[in-house]
Amino acid sequence: MASITFDHVDKIFGDVHVLKDLNIDIPDQEFLVLVGPSGCGKSTALRCLAGLEEITGGQIMIGDRVVNNVAPKDRDIAMVFQSYALYPHMTVFDNMAFGLKLRKVPKPEIKRRVEEAAEMMAIGHLLDRKPRQLSGGQRQRVALGRAIVRDPAVFLMDEPLSNLDAKLRVQTRAEISKLHQRLKTTFIYVTHDQTEAMTMGSRIAVMRDGIMQQLDSPQTLYDHPVNKFVAGFIGSPS
Ligand code: ADP
Ligand code: MG
């Protein structure tokens, strides 16, 4: 089970109050999109959930476990960024296998899991290449494949498509949706792109200035935005 709860979460950097009393409940296996203008705190929220930032107040739960003091590697989370963050000197295979090697997974199992993830992302023919020999789209597929290999309970994606061109973005969006259906894990997908949010999320959380404005289905957000900001941001006529 990997439901996720942000329970009155605050995050303060110095004198900047970035997340303000954030409350989000995400049921197991949901595809939640977190959307809002640049600088509103989306990445910080993901980084707090992944354990890459310490929260200032409140608590974060994964399943029924409070993870405030749990190390990132023990949170059963994989995170994919827009910058791919692949190791440049390693082949695609080794990039994907790296986390499993650290955990001393037996070699034959590593091979099987990497090949299975490569098949899902259609990158089986690229396993011997280095990242610099790949296109941007291929690199992002490798980054996704590397996350799949770890078989995490939760996938976090922080604007994973923003370095891709429009056509590739549309295609990869569809693939990420398919991946979610296939893996049946909890996904949180961060974007500042309203279209992406409205087409991908089963529910959408709209943030502004570190404050959650509304968390609802695309239809409800469109039909019943709680305020002018939400209406304007998602392009609702009301
Ligand atoms: P988003 O991902 O929505 O664009 P971020 O979470 O990256 O927003 O940033 C939210 C706010 O927090 C911004 O004002 C940013 O400058 C600030 N911030 C993010 N990380 C740090 C940090 N390490 N130190 C100080 N301020 C930060
Ligand atoms: Mg960000």
In tens, the pLDDT along 87-122 reads 999 999 999 999 999 989 999 999 999 999 999 999
**In the structure encoding, which two tokens stand for residue 91, read together?**
């082949």
Tell the residue nearest (CA) to atom 5 of ligand 1: 41
Query: Among the residues of 63-217, which ranges form H helices?
Result: 92-102, 107-120, 136-149, 166-183, 194-200
With beta carbons less than 8 A apart as the criterion, state whether 92 and 121 touch: no
Separation CA 219–CA 236 (nearest Å): 10
* CA 71 vs CA 56, 67, 76, 135, 238: distances in Å: 16, 8, 10, 33, 44
Whether 1 shows a pLDDT value over 80: the answer reads no
What pLDDT, on the 0 to 100 scale, is given for residue 238?
Answer: 56
* CA-only gyration radius of the chain, Å: 18
Whether 236 shows a pLDDT value over 80: the answer reads no
From 6, 16, 156, 192, the mutation candidate for ligand 1 (largest count of ligand atoms within 8 A of CB) is: 16
Pocket of ligand 1 from Cβ distances under 6 Å: 13, 16, 18, 36, 38-44
